[in-house]
Amino acid sequence: MAEALPSVTIVRRIKASPAKVWAAITRPDQMIQWWGPDAGPTLRADVDVRPGGRFSVVFRLLNGDEHNPTGIYREVIPERKLVFTWDLPGERESLVTFLLEPIDGGTELILLHEHLPDEAERESHEQGWRGLLDKLPRFLGV
Amino acid sequence: MVKYQTSAIDRTFSALADPTRRHILLRLKDEPGLSVSELARPLSLKLPGMMKHLDVLSDAGLITRAKTGRTVSVNLSVGPMREAMEWLKRYERLWTVSLDRLVAFVEKDGE
């Protein structure tokens, strides 16, 4: 995996096999059981999990707001890697990557949410502004 | 959930995606009010090249320039970077909670 400008990176060790995690992130009947940023319900998951296929999830937040991120699958390597674009109204397209790595006792999941969707653009940016962003909290006094 | 003026945050991120411009910002953080030529000197950049970088930073709202006599002094402006941080923080929260739920879901009936 190239260290290409991860905007948000989260690593989780999960006590479940990559096959199981893969099912949870790609099967609509399973996605609707967890997908969402708070305890609000996931209302719909319409996905066609293959390169070029469409991704669309609707979730309702506890505050009642509904959101519908959509996107296109870019890379699908079963039980290893899932890449899709992420579109929300009012926001520039970004890119989400799930990486699954078998580990002793389960799976290591790495999630990247990158702001810059374009491969060429990202490559040219290299090991980027992350250093600067790391310094930002101090910088901004937060 | 996540609403920004798309173009503004785009400009911030693309302005930050260049080592020279990041260097400029970090220098300005330590030494606010440097002149254009003072900024250009250690980078061995010619003035026109420097001006281009400053234009990008200025369009993104990351710096302000003030002219005093014949000297242009440059200062940092942190507003847009706050927005960039906010974008990252929101997604950090979104995925943190979503992944908590994913983990709970796939681990719930044990291995």
pLDDT in tens, A82-121: 999 998 887 778 889 999 999 998 999 998 888 655 554 4
Per the CB < 8 A criterion, the answer to whether A58 and A42 are in contact is: yes
Place of tokens 């469409």: A54
Q: How confident is the model at residue A33 (pLDDT cuts 50, 70, 90)?
A: confident
CA gap A74, A54 in Å, rounded: 10
Q: What is the pLDDT of residues A48-57, one digit of tens each?
A: 999 999 999 9
* A37 falls within a domain: yes
* A4 falls within a domain: no
* A135 falls within a domain: yes
Check CB contact of B86 with chain A, cutoff 8 Å: no
Q: Give the domain extent around A111.
A: 17-140
Task: Indicate which CATH number applies to the domain containing A65.
Answer: 3.30.530.20
Topology at the third CATH level for domain B6-107 = Arc Repressor Mutant, subunit A (1.10.10)
Check CB contact of B55 with chain A, cutoff 8 Å: no
Global pTM?
0.67
Place of tokens 């520039």: A92
* A12 falls within a domain: no
CA gap B23, B20 in Å, rounded: 5
Q: What is the dihedral of CA A100, A72, A116, A125, to 10 degrees?
A: 70
CA gap A61, B4 in Å, rounded: 19
Residue ranges per structural domain of chain B: 6-107
CB–CB contacts below 8 A, A to B: 112
CA gap A133, B85 in Å, rounded: 8
* A5 falls within a domain: no
